[in-house]
A and B are shown apart, each in its own frame.
Chain A
Amino acid sequence: MITKEAPAAAPAPAPADPAPPRRPKKRPAWDEVPRWQIYLPLGVYLVFTLVPFYWILLFALRPAGSASLVPWPMTFDHFEKVWNDRAFGTFFQNSVLVGVATLLMTTLVALAGGYALARFDFKVKRVFMLALLCSQFVPGALLLVPLFEIFAELQMINSLGSVIIAETVFQLPLSIILISNFIKNVPYSLEEAAWVDGCGRFRAFRVVVLPLLRPGLIAVGSFAFVHSWNHFLFALMFLNNQSKQTIPVGLNSLMSADSVDLGALAAGGIVAAVPVVIVFAFIQKWLITGFSAGAVKG
């Protein structure tokens, strides 16, 4: 509400306008949001949010056995240990592979499905929509046993492919719904105009629609990446060879060891957090516009 003066000032250069624009009454003083009502709760909440982050950073950077509340003298021993001795270097590679592959597969498959839902009427459309909604209620964790058997049948146990497929499948329903809503927001007439200009359907989609979908695709893609980066049970179940495992599984084994090495655990946690926090910092803005464009409509 800082811009209160702006609407009144903007129409001023139009002298021909006889009726002055409707101007909101001045807010009574008791109704202004005082700054402290913003900063105080936000500050309290930030303490709650940031102390845990600080805590893990502290444990990762201070030498083992230190009880200091500042990470000084600083050491990177824990990182070296986790990265090399505890194979987090390998886990990291695997997690990146799974994350990127899931992102690409989810986005591509959901883009095709979402386009069909947004632009065509076809026989099984209602059934397909219903299946998408129902699958939201299917708990992936409860399907572990049959999924394990399927992947065993396909000879895919211990290959990252199994995790990539499982993650993609459980990301798909929401992604398709979101993307079809994004596409519905792009007027069909834009595409039709491109056809008249001689574009094929695919080219028209690529040139006209795709650029407009950017915020939505960023939201859906990053969602898929972050989820598959974080998800734990599929990797735990389907990959039992250490060279194939992902970061959450590595973290879990650090935690469930008999005597937990807190420094190593903290350093492993930082390794797990850094990529998603960086991704998140970049996409945060698009996430909000993306969801507000596509989320809960129809």
Chain B
Amino acid sequence: MAQAAAGAKPPAPPRRRRASATPRRLPYLLIGPAALLMLGFIAYPVISVFYYSLQEYNPTKPWRNGFAGLDNFVRIFTEDPVFWDTLVFSAKWVFVEVGLQLLFGLALALIVNQTFVGRGIGRAMVFSPWAVSGVLTSAIWVLLYNSQTGITRYLADMGIGSYGTSWLSDTSTVFSAAVVADLWRGVPFFAILILADLQSVSKDLYEAAEVDGASRVKQFWHITLPHLKDAIILSTLLRAVWEFNNVDLLYTLTGGGPAGETTTLPLYIANTSVDAHDFGYASALTTVAFVILLFCSIVYLRLSKFGGENK
């Protein structure tokens, strides 16, 4: 691409940059602050996690600290059933959350992209949970799920379900209860991004399709969806990483319980490092989580052919 253009055009005359006295140093000055912050507070911690993963490191048992080789990793894969449980739960959690959020978010974006009376206020209300934090979401749903004063009690008044049910402490309902709470906050994220991308679909395409008598359903499959493809791939990936990493909601809503039923891998790691102070082992778990995440992301981008065809 670049070579073809260079061959076709005569070499451009050197551009005069009168205003930029020191353009050579300027870009480095400009990225300097960002680069320093990221080196110090992302790169260095990441490297130290890799380093600790090879160490026995526990401030409460300092006499055992020291180089441990691959012991931590061996322990993860051979002696730790909790690791596999949390990994399976993480996968289930991410898959269900991202899938449902995408589905509802797409539907919602298509609806509020129509022209109708009350669209502005409708959009604002539908999107508003986006701004609500994980902790606040937990607080709200703790109130809703409370067995004495929550919504179940009023549903029981109407004859639906039974009194005294607590969806958060029953192992058969806790997953759905947590999923619904996180959906409430997560759907608007997709709806906003997809709605934003819908604004850039060329109107001409729809007009042409209308001239050809294509139905709305056909227009959706052949114009809207292909246009949204890259945005959907990227936002599902970002969201999946985010859902995997984010522990705010589960930490405060269920605390990973009941009986470890809702513990994701990062939540397990946080508990291992914060409660058990087993930093070496937590670092090894982090390293494993990081590798899994990176691997899945690359596979996903490859399989979905991100940015293919039209670019």
Contact = CB atoms under 8 A, between A and B. Distances in A.
Interface of A: 1-3, 22, 24-25, 27-28, 31, 33, 35, 38-39, 41-42, 45-46, 48-53, 55-56, 59, 67, 69, 109-110, 112-113, 115-117, 119-120, 122, 124-125, 128, 131, 135-147, 149-150, 165-166, 168-170, 172-173, 176, 195, 199-201, 204, 226, 229-233, 237, 248, 251-252, 254-256, 260, 262, 265-266, 268-269, 272-273, 276-277, 279-281, 284, 287-292, 295-296
Given A135-B38, A137-B293, A120 B33 contact: no
B246 A280 contact: no
Q: Give the dominant DSSP class at A's interface.
A: helix
Interface in B238-274: 238, 241, 244-248, 251-252, 266, 269-270, 273-274
Contact of A147 (B33, B38, B45, B246): B45
B143 A292 contact: no
Contacts of B210: 24-25, 27
B303 interface: no
B143 A265 contact: yes
10 contacts: A22-B211, A25-B211, A42-B112, A51-B144, A56-B140, A113-B30, A204-B19, A262-B149, A269-B140, A296-B230
Contacts of B223: none
A42 to B, nearest CB: 6
Contact of A252 (B31, B126, B135, B146): B135
A165 B143 CA distance: 33
A146 B193 CA distance: 33
Contacts of A280: 124, 127-128, 130-131
Contact of A232 (B33, B134, B142, B154): B134
B247 A231 contact: no
Given A24-B211, A67-B149, A265-B143, A42 B111 contact: yes
A149 B150 CA distance: 42
Given A142-B269, A255-B139, A288-B195, A230 B126 contact: no
Interface residues of B, number: 102
Contacts of B43: 131
A124 B27 CA distance: 10
B294 A137 contact: yes
A211 B27 CA distance: 22
Q: Give the dominant DSSP class at B's interface.
A: helix
B252 A48 contact: no
Contacts of B37: 109, 165, 168-169, 172
B135 A260 contact: no
A248 B273 contact: no
Contacts of A67: 149
B85 to A, nearest CB: 18
Given A109-B33, A113-B31, A248 B38 contact: no
Contacts of B30: 112-113, 115-116, 120
Given A42-B122, A169-B38, A295-B197, A141 B245 contact: yes
A4 B270 CA distance: 56
Q: Which has the most chain B C-beta neighbours within 10 Å: A38, A200, A296?
A: A296
Interface in B1-41: 17-20, 23, 26-35, 37-38, 40-41
Interface string B187-223: 0000011011101100000010011010110000000
B64 to A, nearest CB: 17
Contacts of B42: 135, 138, 143, 169-170
B141 A145 contact: no
Contacts of A122: 27-28
Nearest to B43: A131
Contact of B247 (A119, A165, A233): A233
Given A33-B216, A137-B297, A295-B196, A49 B115 contact: no
B46 A138 contact: yes
A110 B34 CA distance: 7
Q: Which has the most chain A C-beta neighbours within 10 Å: B46, B124, B133, B274?
A: B133
B77 interface: no
